[in-house]
Amino acid sequence: MATPVGILTVSDKCSRGQALDTSGPALRRLLEEEEKTASGQQRWSIVATLVVPDDRALIAQTVRDWCDVTSDGRPRCRLVVITGGTGISPTDVTVEAISPLFTKQLPSLATAMVVGSLKITPMAALSQVAAGVVGESIVVAVPGSKKGSVENLQQILGVLPHAVDTARAHTGTRHLHSSTGQPIEITAPLPLALCGCSRPDEEHSAVQLTDSVLSNDLDGSVARRARKSPYPMIPVDEALRLVLSHMPEPSAVELSLQDIREGQIIAADVIAREDVPGYPAAVMDGYAVIAADGPGTYTVRGSATAGGATKGLGPLQPGEVVRVATGAPIPPGADAVVMVEDTQLVESLGSDGDESVIRILESGRVVSGQHIRKVGHDLGKGSVVIAAGSAITAVGGEIGALAVSGHAKFSVYAMPRIAVLSTGDEVVDTLSPHAGDNVLEYGAIRDCNRPALLAALASLGCPTLDLGIVKDDPDVLAQTMTRALDTCQGIITTGGVSMGERDWLKPVVEQRLQGKIMFGRVAMKPSKPTTFATLPDGGRFVFALPGNPVSALVAFHMFAAPAIRKLAGYHLFSLEKESEMKSCLRPSLVAVYEGQDISLDRVRPEYLRAALTWSGSASKWIVRVVDQQQQSSRVASMLHANALISLPCGTAQKPIVRAGEAVTAIIIAAPHIK
């Protein structure tokens, strides 16, 4: 069985997305190219890769987790190789972070690395390489440069298998020493091509800047394509940070009332231009009276209806009333309204004529100001009708408030226009008028990604451009995306982002669109191949999502939806901390899990499709998995889902989640209430 290995890259720049990790992939190639065991098996198996900043606590915690014993009694990683942070600058803290974890120091192993490297460069004298045992695992720290990391590890490759076996030999090591009659040799330096260096004088940099092209050559043959992804797998939070940090600030536009859409954010306070109402108005149907008159018999001077004038009536005199409708102006001299129900007809002008005399009953006794809306009662001139940062909802209150403000146009943040396309020769359109008449040929599939993403974007209030289905042709793909960028700020694609021979998205973005891929893999389940790239000019971007429908939708809600909310202005108001911004853009809450036990994945955090419900009787949020079959290809697992249960990686101490435990639920639609 291959020995499980973890490769940890320590770099502030890589963790911030300012550079790409090249040392980690080079070490991976080195170990995977190592000759097989005598039985013909692969010697090393890379089970974990991660990029972290120069943070002492985070480095130590990652090493502890990787060396932790799993439920089968074995360490998750038998060998941990750390690259970066081994220099002498104040920010280099790798050795300080891992040394306290060592149950045994291995200074001779570290010396072997230094001695071998000194034969190549005197700069090796400035490296703090380290080696030791943590539990039953071997941990070694090597320099951060691509060339230096490979050269150092290469010096001890010959002894590492024996060291790994010895670290967990509880019954002694004699059998290990006698198992082979061959002496252990320190290997010679590997060819530069294997460690990824093209020339001896290549800069000893820990990272490769992100404007380097890593994708397969569009003009290259299938045989020359990469067998392993060159893109480091980064943590989910780091991916979200990269996405949000590369979204430009929102832009405000002036829109008329009929053009404002649900989900948009008001960019500037809306100030009332006039009083509402602009005159004293009757609150109900009845009679305008002088309150001091009290109950009794009164002459009806006339009537006032909503929108009708009262100026011709003259000031109301004692003993007189004026019939008024709801919303009608109150005539001069009146200071109260009596309801129709508190009056009786005494006399009229003919059988069909107007009322001439009415009686106000004792129940109609009023006080001054009763049933009258004063000028500016609903909205005072100069007051704030709706504050900047307010979101337009489907309730209608915000639109109603804007309508009475007296303005014709309003400053709101523009929603980005997003283009959506599906890729694949096998994909059949489902949005054409006669889509249901298609009989699928063998190997074909119906497109559910594009319709689902268009619907998800519509729920955010986002205008869209449907680019249809693009076949697996890099020229057509590049042309389609280029045209879309004339009118759209972003493009969301599905499919073509993995390692297949016709997966063209990354090469097209890098080589045809001159895009910069900020990340090409994310440590999450599902949606690992999720790719995010920025494009030249104007803050444009591409989200290249996996082809499996659930992977595409999960990635959309985890990364694309927060990006769109930021562009729409959701982060600009009452937010001071980065954690608050993330909460605003990708809202979540703590809920009680109900259902069967869930085994936690030991390598990647997982996001399960779930139904989030507020239980009024229990006064708590409850979340349940909507479908026990959570495969990324099963779009039915998204049915009725309004949340994603965010599950951390499992450990020996915490291998499962049980019913009744608190979990984090990421909200993707309105929660249920019962």
406 pLDDT band, cuts 50/70/90, is very high
Mean pLDDT for 57-80 is: 86
In which residue are the tokens 């909200």 written? 667
Does domain 3-209 correspond to CATH entry 2.40.10.220?
no
In which residue are the tokens 């290990």 written? 176
pLDDT of residue 193: 32
Does domain 416-567 correspond to CATH entry 3.40.980.10?
yes
Select the CATH number that applies to the domain covering 587-673 from these four: 3.40.190.170, 2.40.340.10, 3.30.9.10, 3.40.190.10: 2.40.340.10
Residue 171 structure tokens: 């019954």
443 sits in the region (left: phi over 0; alpha: psi -120 to 50; else beta) called left
Which of 659, 608, 599 lies closest to 634, judged by CA? 608
CA angle 442, 447, 450 (to 5 degrees): 165
CA angle 506, 510, 511 (to 5 degrees): 110
Does domain 281-373 correspond to CATH entry 2.170.190.11?
yes
Pairing of strands 355-360, 343-348: antiparallel
- What span, in angstroms and rounded, lies between the C-alpha atoms of 489 and 502? 26
Which of 84, 179, 158, 163 lies closest to 127, judged by CA? 84
Cα separation values, 577 from 381, 573, 580, Å: 36, 11, 5
Residue 129 structure tokens: 């390489």
- How buried is residue 206: exposed, middle or buried, by Cβ count under 10 Å (0-12/13-18/19+)? buried
pLDDT of residue 593: 97
pLDDT in tens, 584-622: 899 999 999 999 999 999 889 999 999 999 998 889 999
- What span, in angstroms and rounded, lies between the C-alpha atoms of 201 and 40? 36
Residue 237 structure tokens: 């939070």
Cβ within 8 Å of residue 624, ≥6 positions away: 593, 594, 595, 610, 611, 613
User: Hey, is 190 helix, strand or coil?
Assistant: coil
Chain-centroid distance, C-alpha 597: 27
Cβ within 8 Å of residue 155, ≥6 positions away: 112, 113, 115, 116, 117, 186, 187
Q: What are the CB-based long-range contacts (under 8 Å, 24+) for 558-561?
A: 558/236, 558/240, 558/524, 558/527, 558/530, 558/586, 558/607, 558/644, 558/666, 559/239, 559/240, 559/243, 559/530, 559/532, 560/492, 561/456, 561/460, 561/585, 561/586, 561/668
Every domain range in the chain assigned CATH 2.170.190.11? 281-373
More confident residue, 410 or 57: 410
pLDDT in tens, 198-238: 333 333 333 333 445 666 666 655 555 656 777 888 999 99
Mean pLDDT for 354-369 is: 90
Every domain range in the chain assigned CATH 3.90.105.10? 252-275+378-413
Q: Are 33 and 63 in contact (CB under 8 A)?
A: no
Cα separation values, 18 from 53, 245, 361, 532, Å: 12, 11, 82, 14
Mean pLDDT for 184-199 is: 36
Distance spanning both ends of the chain, measured CA to CA: 52
More confident residue, 20 or 273: 273
- What span, in angstroms and rounded, lies between the C-alpha atoms of 327 and 558? 50
Which of 504, 561, 513 lies closest to 538, judged by CA? 513
Question: Residues in the chain, how many?
Answer: 674
170 pLDDT band, cuts 50/70/90, is low
- How buried is residue 449: exposed, middle or buried, by Cβ count under 10 Å (0-12/13-18/19+)? buried
pLDDT in tens, 258-300: 999 999 999 999 999 999 999 999 999 999 999 999 999 999 9
pTM of this prediction exceeds 0.75: no
User: Which residue type, as a one-letter code, is found at position 553?
Assistant: L
Dihedral sign from CA coordinates of 311, 313, 319, 322:
negative
- The third-level CATH classification (topology) of the domain covering 252-275+378-413 is Molybdopterin biosynthesis moea protein, domain 2 (3.90.105)
235 preceded by a cis bond (ω within 30 of 0): no
User: Hey, is 301 helix, strand or coil?
Assistant: strand
Chain-centroid distance, C-alpha 84: 29
Read off the DSSP letter of residue 633. Answer: T
- What span, in angstroms and rounded, lies between the C-alpha atoms of 364 and 290? 12
Every domain range in the chain assigned CATH 3.40.980.10? 3-209, 416-567
Residue 228 structure tokens: 């392993």
310 sits in the region (left: phi over 0; alpha: psi -120 to 50; else beta) called alpha
- How buried is residue 601: exposed, middle or buried, by Cβ count under 10 Å (0-12/13-18/19+)? middle
Mean pLDDT for 79-101 is: 92
More confident residue, 77 or 440: 77
Q: Are 299 and 357 in contact (CB under 8 A)?
A: yes
CA angle 479, 484, 486 (to 5 degrees): 105
Q: Are 668 and 643 in contact (CB under 8 A)?
A: yes
Cross-strand bridge partners of residue 422: 469, 494
Q: What percent of the chain has pLDDT over 90?
A: 54
Residue 49 structure tokens: 């890769």
Q: Are 267 and 387 in contact (CB under 8 A)?
A: no
Of 209-213, 451-455, 651-655, least confident by mean pLDDT is 209-213
Mean pLDDT estimate for the chain: 85
User: Which residue type, as a one-letter code, is found at position 346?
Assistant: V
pLDDT of residue 1: 75
Dihedral sign from CA coordinates of 651, 656, 660, 663:
positive
Residue 611 structure tokens: 């139904």
Cα separation values, 121 from 86, 114, 189, 266, 601, Å: 16, 10, 12, 61, 42
More confident residue, 520 or 314: 520
305 pLDDT band, cuts 50/70/90, is confident
Mean pLDDT for 378-390 is: 93
pLDDT at 80 over 60: yes
Q: Are 369 and 282 in contact (CB under 8 A)?
A: no
Cα separation values, 323 from 155, 242, 329, 340, Å: 102, 67, 11, 9
